[in-house]
Amino acid sequence: MLLELDDITLRYGRIEALHGLSIHVEEGEIVALIGANGAGKTTTMRAISGLNPLASGKIRFAGKDITTMRADLRVPLGICQSPEGRGVFPGMTVLENLDMGAYTRKDRAGVAADLKRVFELFPRLEERQKQISGTMSGGEQQMLAVGRALMSRPKLLLLDEPSMGLAPMIIQQIFDIIVEINQQGTTVLLVEQNAQQALARAHRGYVLETGRIVKEGTGQDLLHDPAVKEAYLGVA
Ligand code: ATP
């Protein structure tokens, strides 16, 4: 098992956002976490990357207990989050942003090879490598955020709403690239409002409701589950 969240509870002040949540991700999987606004999806991702401390429970990564490990120490272990709302450095060029993704790495040749791979996945980024990131379109910034995350060569890529605010054609491309990244060996945990697209490509999925997992199954099982269809797929 690559990642295991064991009965975790997380509070913002007096508000408990996660109430004893347990999920796991096997190496090589794409796992989708779906749920309505405010269900706790982003909070779960922040717990994994270490941005929010737990009130109780354990997080294990590759057999190691990382529950209390600092966020910056989780990156070299291979955990990388591409944040919701893109989060690129707007004043930096595309290439500078990609270099930032690799800041913990010392293997120059590996970094150069990964930059090549990112440019193959996203030819638009190669064309625009000298452009100031803040002047790029929403879809381009989203590609850059994913590309930057890949530059840290994560074992586990945490993607928070990669389709947010994008046109349907770009969403399709982003999801296709997620599958490609996964086939090249990166495990993916994906948070999505766009449940249809996410479940269609995920090996497994979890449904999160107000800080609790209420359902889990294969992507296909969840796609065909009547309650999931009604609540999250816009099908009555
Ligand atoms: P969305 O799809 O709208 O982004 P989400 O499933 O990612 O939602 P979270 O952002 O994880 O949900 O929020 C879960 C709950 O925790 C919500 O009730 C939210 O209001 C609350 N919450 C999140 N961040 C904070 C914070 N910094 N302080 C207080 N409450 C917070």
The pLDDT of residue 94 is 96
Candidate of 5, 8, 12, 34 to mutate for ligand 1, largest count of ligand atoms within 8 Å of Cβ? 12
40 CB under 6 A from ligand 1? yes
Ligand 1 centroid–CA 165 distance in Å is 18
Q: What is the mean pLDDT of the chain?
A: 91
The answer on pLDDT for 163 being more than 80 is yes
The pLDDT of residue 194 is 87
Q: Are 123 and 154 in contact (CB under 8 A)?
A: no
Q: Are 185 and 25 in contact (CB under 8 A)?
A: no
The answer on pLDDT for 165 being more than 90 is no
The secondary structure of 59-119 as a DSSP string is EEETTEE-TT--HHHHTTTTEEEE-TT----TTSBHHHHHHHHTTT---HHHHHHHHHHHH
85 CB under 6 A from ligand 1? no
The pLDDT of residue 186 is 92
- pLDDT tens by residue, 202-230: 999 999 999 999 999 999 999 999 999 99
Ligand 1 centroid–CA 23 distance in Å is 18
Which atom of ligand 1 is found nearest the CA of 40? Answer: 11
Whose CA is closest to 49, among 157, 143, 146, 150?
A: 157
The model's confidence at residue 169, banded by pLDDT at 50, 70 and 90, is: confident
The model's confidence at residue 62, banded by pLDDT at 50, 70 and 90, is: very high
The model's confidence at residue 127, banded by pLDDT at 50, 70 and 90, is: very high
- Atom 23 in ligand 1: which residue has the minimum CA distance? 43
Most confident of 104-108, 124-128, 171-175: 124-128
The pLDDT of residue 75 is 87
The answer on pLDDT for 144 being more than 70 is yes
Phi/psi-derived region of residue 13, left when phi > 0, alpha when psi is between -120 and 50, beta in every other case: left
The model's confidence at residue 4, banded by pLDDT at 50, 70 and 90, is: very high
Provide the token pair at 85.
């709302």
25-29, 51-55, 163-167 — which is least confidently predicted? 163-167
The answer on pLDDT for 71 being more than 80 is yes
Mean pLDDT of 53-59: 97
The answer on pLDDT for 138 being more than 60 is yes
Ligand 1 centroid–CA 215 distance in Å is 20
Please state, in angstroms and rounded to a whole number, the distance separating the CA atoms of residues 95 and 174. 20
34-43, 69-78, 102-111, 131-140 — which is least confidently predicted? 102-111
The secondary structure of 195-223 as a DSSP string is HHHHHHH-SEEEEEETTEEEEEEEHHHHH
Please state, in angstroms and rounded to a whole number, the distance separating the CA atoms of residues 70 and 49. 9
Strands 30-35, 56-61: parallel, antiparallel or unpaired by DSSP?
Answer: unpaired
The pLDDT of residue 214 is 96
194 CB under 6 A from ligand 1? no
43 CB under 6 A from ligand 1? yes
- Atom 29 in ligand 1: which residue has the minimum CA distance? 12
Mean pLDDT of 57-63: 97
Ligand 1 centroid–CA 78 distance in Å is 25
Ligand 1 centroid–CA 106 distance in Å is 36
What is the ipTM metric for this complex? 0.93
